[in-house]
Every structure is written in structure tokens, then in C-alpha cells.
Amino acid sequence: MSLKDTIDRTDLKILQVLQQDARISNQALADRVALSPSACLRRVRELEGKRLITGYHAHVAVDRIRAVTIVLAQVSFERHSPGHFGRFDQWVARTGEVVESWRVSGQYDYMLRVVVTDLHDWKRLMLEMMEGGFGVEKITSNFLMDEMKSFGGYPLAPSPAAG
């Protein structure tokens, strides 16, 4: 709870607006949260400083710029040794095609979001993973057909329907 006490309704509103429109001017943002520009700017800088805002990103329609195949890969490991995971994470970090990597609980260990040009490209990456000595046991891949709802920010407050 230590952080939540330092955040008030106004900060939440700021985060909500910036999640939806990161390029809004500080003045317009100040208007929307009913604050003077200077007070608003100070809060934004504080939120950045506390790393509650960790970046601002343009969302690009990559499929309209280059040929892309988006793969959701479920990766399971033979053993759960930290060493293997660590080296795998390093490989992920330096591999630009892997745009997102999550450790998950369940039947598999990692869920990757990978952006490749085509199936041949994906095969190459799969080989790198299987033969990189990371202890990868199995990779199950699914291909994105259609983005029905794309990420536009987190719900910063629990839904009213929730407990």
C-alpha cells in the first residue's frame, strides 16, 4: 500500500488521460484534470520520476508498413533452473523479433509475442531457441489472424462489478 497512499484521484486521472493520448499538451491535460499547468506538469514529472509512467509509445500499424506474421509462442522448459531462464531472457532481450516475453504459470513457462516476416523466418527463430542450449523442451505456436481489441491502456481502478 505504500505507493498507493502517495497517489490521489488527480494523479489517476492524469495517468488515465496519458494512457489514451500521450501527446496531449500539458495545458490541455491540465484542463482535463482541473489543475493549473504548472501543478499538472509537476505531477507528471513526479509520476515519471517514481517510474509509475515508464514510457510513451506511438502505436504503429506495422502490418501496413511491412509484411508481418505475428506469432504467439508458448515455450516450456525441461527443467526450471534459473541459469537457463537467465540465458534465455538474454537471448530474448537481444532478439528484436521478440517484442514481448512473459513468464507465466501453468502448462508452459513463457509466452512470447514475436513479429516475423513469414513462416520461414519463424522457423529460423524456433531453431535458435531449440538449439541455443537453453533447455527449451517444447514450443507451441499460434498465429495471429485478427486483432479484435488492441491494447489501449490498463483499467487503473477495479471494475465496479468486482468484489
Partner DNA sequence: CCTGAAATCCACTATTG
Partner DNA sequence: CAATAGTGGATTTCAGG
Say how far apart CA 162 and CA 139 lie, in whole Å. Answer: 35
82 binds, among a second copy, DNA, none (CB under 5 to 8 A by kind): none
**Least distance to DNA, CB of residue 24, Å:** 8
What does DSSP say about strands 69-77 and 110-116: parallel, antiparallel, or unpaired?
antiparallel
69 binds, among DNA, a second copy, none (CB under 5 to 8 A by kind): none
| SS3 of residue 79 by DSSP | coil
Helix (H) or strand (E) segment spanning residue 121: helix 119-130
Residue with Cβ nearer DNA (42 or 80): 42
- Which residues between 14 and 53 bind DNA (CB under 7 A)? 25-28, 34-39, 41-43
DSSP 65: T
Contact set with DNA (CB under 7 A) = 10, 25-28, 34-39, 41-43
